[in-house]
Amino acid sequence: MTYLGVMAKNRTYAALAAQRPQRPCRYSPAQLRQRRRDGLSAGHYARTWSLAREIADVLDPLAQRIAEADRPGRFMRTAVSVPWLAEEVHELVGVAVGWVAERDARARTAHLASDPGKRRTAMTLLVDLAPRPPLPEITDTMLADGSWAAALVAMAETVDAAFSELLACSYAPDAAELRGQPSRSDLLARLLARTLDRAAMALERRLGRDGQANHDGAPAVNESDRARAELAALGIDTEETP
């Protein structure tokens, strides 16, 4: 084939379409959550994704189930507990605050661009100084009425708008500009999997086992719930099959 023939072939509609950057697939928050729990690659977490709404969507059903369970207070002090889940959500929100603060620090230290060492030090100090919301105290009363979920959502609302704006300014997964580095969406999906998802899935499993135990009249077993949830967040099924 001649050079002109190759050029003509490369300018066909199909060839030109293949050369254009493809838009990332759009997933709903529920679909993104399921992809994390199935161990699939991260989708694109764009401006429309809300940290506070994600936490609410995961925690509200759990809060209702615990409030309706026999003796809600028993979810206060065991290994797989609501306070443990609260700590994981607190870590999630704290990291989100740090990411937003890092973006702000980069803009505020632009005048130090010629001195990378000083700029890096200044950015670290600014990120460290960014106020993180305090961890809410979870009480037995909150377990009984389910209000603990709203307290954790309120913690995320302090950074929700700024975090959505950060996502809007971030590259989609596999963008050429990233040169193979993980995107903000990749990092966020991993963070959600090891904090919110891991703890929430452990509580979901415990509630399921407790319900089955109550039905069978046998004691619930939950010593390995944390390990099972962590493996499930990595896409590894540990349930026995008949």
Within-domain flag for 72: yes
Q: In angstroms, rounded to a whole number, what is the distance separating the alpha carbons of residues 202 and 218?
A: 20
Give the mean pLDDT of 26-53: 95
Within-domain flag for 90: yes
In degrees, rounded to 5, the angle at the alpha carbon of residue 185 between the alpha carbons of residues 22 and 167 is: 90
Within-domain flag for 33: no
Give residue 65's domain range.
45-131+138-233
For 65-106, write each residue's pLDDT tens digit.
Answer: 999 998 999 999 888 999 999 999 999 999 999 999 999 999
Please check the confidence at residue 54 and state whether its pLDDT lies above 70: yes
Give the mean pLDDT of 222-242: 60
Within-domain flag for 39: no
- Give 220's pLDDT tier (boundaries 50, 70, 90): very low
pLDDT at 197: 98
* Count of domains forming the chain: 1
Rg (CA), the chain: 23
Within-domain flag for 79: yes
% of the chain surpassing 90 pLDDT: 72
Q: Left, alpha or beta for 174 (phi > 0: left; psi -120 to 50: alpha)?
A: left
Average pLDDT, the chain: 86
Within-domain flag for 73: yes
Within-domain flag for 28: no
For 166-177, write each residue's pLDDT tens digit.
Answer: 999 999 999 999
